[in-house]
Amino acid sequence: MSEFSNYYENKIGDHMLRNQSFTPPTAIYLALFTAETGLETNSPTSEVTGTNYARQAITLDAFVDGQSSNSTDIEFPQAGSNWGTITHCAIVDHVSNTNWGTNVNVLMWSALTESKTVNSGEIICFSAGNLDVSIA
């Protein structure tokens, strides 16, 4: 995952280069999406909404040479309905709010290496070390 949203790019740039105050989120969450639409502009329209879907808290290892990965498994609840084909994921700053750009923001996002169709009864899991995050 290496794409910053416009929102996060602006916050980082203003903080680092214009001395503008910015408080980073105290927790970050992984969200799943069925399309890329709106992820760059912090206004996604395709987050999974199926039964039992919930964003999952994530913890990253320390960055080395601009790269990190998840330090523990990120396991989503068992799908209680078909969630569709997951094509993208994003790191966001709120566990459940859906008011994009106001109460929840896309920080980073990426297409999955392989799309995954999630049907009722299935579990999607990103094993420790398999969610790669890079800043280039």
Give the pLDDT mean for 28-45.
96
Asked if 53 contacts 76 with a C-beta cutoff of 8 angstroms, the reply is: yes
| Residue 43: pLDDT band with limits 50, 70, 90 | very high
| Contact of 49 with 13, CB cutoff 8 Å | no
- Tell me, what's the pLDDT at 44? 96
What does pLDDT average to over the chain? 94
CB 89 within 8 A of CB 32: yes
Determine the pLDDT at residue 1. Answer: 66
Q: What whole-number percentage of the chain has pLDDT above 90?
A: 94
**pLDDT band (50, 70, 90) for residue 51:** very high
Q: Residue 69: its pLDDT value, please?
A: 95
| Model confidence, pTM | 0.93
Burial state string for 74-95 with b = 16 or more CB within 10 A and e = fewer than 16: bebeebeeebbebbbbbbbbbe
Arithmetic mean of pLDDT, 7-28: 93
Mean local confidence (pLDDT), 51-78: 96
What is the distance between the alpha carbons of residues 134 and 136, in angstroms, rounded to a whole number? Answer: 6
pLDDT at 136 over 90: no
